[in-house]
Amino acid sequence: MEMIRKRHGAKLKTQVALEAMKGERTMNEIASKFKIHPTQVSQWKKQLQTGLPEVFGGKRTQSEVSEVLVAQLYEEIGRLKCELDWLKKKSCPIQLRSSAP
């Protein structure tokens, strides 16, 4: 018989992790309350701890990210155009010499 894994939603994970962060109960008590494995409680707690700085950090909106990306791409296009123009100037005399009989 195959074991079917349960998929827990974000709401449950958040509740469990917050309960573990409070420290009022042991991992085993929290696990038995929510009917999950104690290891899962500690994993979700670690995920919450590592993810919290992002919540309060200065996240950029999608439009700000796209503006920065567009600016970087235009800068790269300009640099590549300059390099291409320079290479065309440098290769032009070589082509003239090789095309002469």
- Sequence-distant (6+) residues with CB within 8 A of 4 are none
% pLDDT > 90, the chain: 50
Note the pTM of the prediction, 2 decimals: 0.53
Q: What value does the mean pLDDT take over residues 82-92?
A: 86
Q: What value does the mean pLDDT take over residues 58-63?
A: 69
pLDDT at residue 59, rounded to an integer: 63
Q: Compute φ and ψ for 100, nearest 5 degrees.
A: -75, 140
Q: What value does the mean pLDDT take over residues 55-77?
A: 81
pLDDT at residue 60, rounded to an integer: 64
Phi-psi region of 35 (alpha: psi -120 to 50; beta: other; left: phi over 0): left
Angle between the N-to-C axes of helices 38-56 and 10-22, in degrees from 0 to 180, rounded to the nearest 10: 90
